[in-house]
Amino acid sequence: MAACQGRTPAPTPAPVETLPAVPTPSSTPTATLVAATPVPKTPAVTIAATTLVPTTVPTSSPTPTPIPVVFPPRISLQAVTTLPEAITYLTHAGDGSGRLFVVAKSGSIWVVEDGGIRRTPFLDITQLVDSAASERGLLSMAFSPDFVDTGVFYVNYSSKEGDGATVTARYRAEDLQVADPASGVDILRIDQPAANHNGGQLQFGRDGYLYIGMGDGGAAGDPWDNAENLESLLGKMLRIKVTGETTYAIPAANPFLGREDARPEIWAYGLRNPWRFSFDRATGDLYIADVGQNKWEEIDFQPADSPGGEHYGWNTLEGSHCYDPPEGCDASGKVPPVWEYQHPEGCSITGGYVYRGRQFPQMRGLYFYADFCSGRISVLRRDESGVWQSQSALDSGLNIASFGEDEAGELYVLDLDGEVFRLAASE
């Protein structure tokens, strides 16, 4: 795609129509659910100008005492909204609008603003999306860093063509309000041998490149040996350059660029199903939550200064434990997870974000994640001595499909059935 020229100002959006509220299910989850309450506006006050003559030398105000981080923090979930269908992801546009974008598994994206949901979807490509299988559908989206100027964003979905192939596609919203379904351009299409382990997360890194999480192709145990095969894009973290490109280009520093026996798109490998990964917006560090096979769920960590090329172990290892072979495996050259937990504590990890918002300073720097099966929300941190620690924070009673982050760094929790909650610190 050629770089866009100057743009005419976006027209004023039409008034927002909100959907009627969806009743809360009768069963009461373990989590504390607090309805969001609008903050009343303070009336404007006119203050007459007055000349003040100091009688003493002013002194500086004392520096406020920082609120310490609490580990684990006491948290609650505040109800935000509900969609009447399965949802997979939530994000923001980085345009200062305060809008939230909620991805529906069936193939549409909805805008949440001013406490309501717009009646017209931001994008509807349900005619393209195969959402029949439990792990297929419209799985995530990512706004281009230059969205305000170009209206460009990207989606990841399972295609009805090609037996559920994974598609990363570019779309455009010329007025920044509603995207044109006809503007879609496939950037990357990857065939899938089975219906599960699709990965599906898209994120832009601080380097401006697009990262794509790909599962190993599905079935069980990686029968095609995709994750450790550098000639396959399955079971990998990919990094591509999309800004200013018709489709994509390979960043010059990608670790396997120039090797005849490897795909240059690969940034890291040895992953089973990195359903959710994220970058710490303050440090650039990468957290990858990789869903396990039968015994171990894991969190992999890549520091911001990594040159890439890490092998995270699958399928020689599941977590830090031998998988194939079950004993006496060769773990050399493989990066172990910084945290893992065993079944039946849970059965499917859902990765989240490092909290960098301002509303709850007692949570700053903590990485939040969950388990889809148990509904438990946990927190992870690395202490001053470099030791990683994790603690349970809340038994939510939800099937947590994803976390989300808004432009201010506040975090959200998504129940697969359509409920969106804001994650908050409890008093």
Q: Following DSSP, what letter does each residue of 35-51 receive, concatenated?
A: ---PPPPPPP-------
What pLDDT score does 60 carry?
59
Residue 418 lies in a domain: yes
Whether 311 maps to a domain, the answer reads yes
**Is residue 17 included in any domain, yes or no?**
no
Q: What is the domain-level CATH number for residue 303?
A: 2.120.10.30
Q: What is the pLDDT of residues 8-33, one digit of tens each?
A: 333 333 333 333 333 333 333 333 33
Going 352 to 356 to 360 to 364, the CA torsion angle's sign is positive
Structural domain including 284 reads 75-425
Helical ranges in 151-260 per DSSP H? none
**CA-to-CA dists, residue 165 to 66, 189, 264, 266, angstroms:** 50, 7, 20, 18
The domain tally of the chain equals 1
Q: How many Cα atoms sit within 13 Å of 335 on the Cβ side?
A: 17
Q: Which positions of the chain have pLDDT values less than 70? A: 1-62, 427
Can you give the pTM of this predicted structure?
0.85
354 lies in some domain: yes
Q: How many CB atoms lie within 10 A of CB 336?
A: 16
CA distance 366 to 163: 39
pLDDT of residue 40: 40
What is the predicted pLDDT for the residue at 61?
Answer: 63
Residue 262 near residue 256, CB atoms below 8 Å: yes
Residue 25 located in a structural domain: no
Q: How is residue 369 written in tokens?
A: 């994640």
d(CA 322, CA 93): 42
- What residues pair up with 279 in beta bridges, in sequence order? 286
Mean pLDDT taken over the chain: 89
- Asked, for residue 53, whether it belongs to a domain, the answer is no
Domain assignment present for residue 28? The answer is no
Q: Which tokens belong to 212?
A: 């794509």
Q: Is residue 129 part of a domain?
A: yes
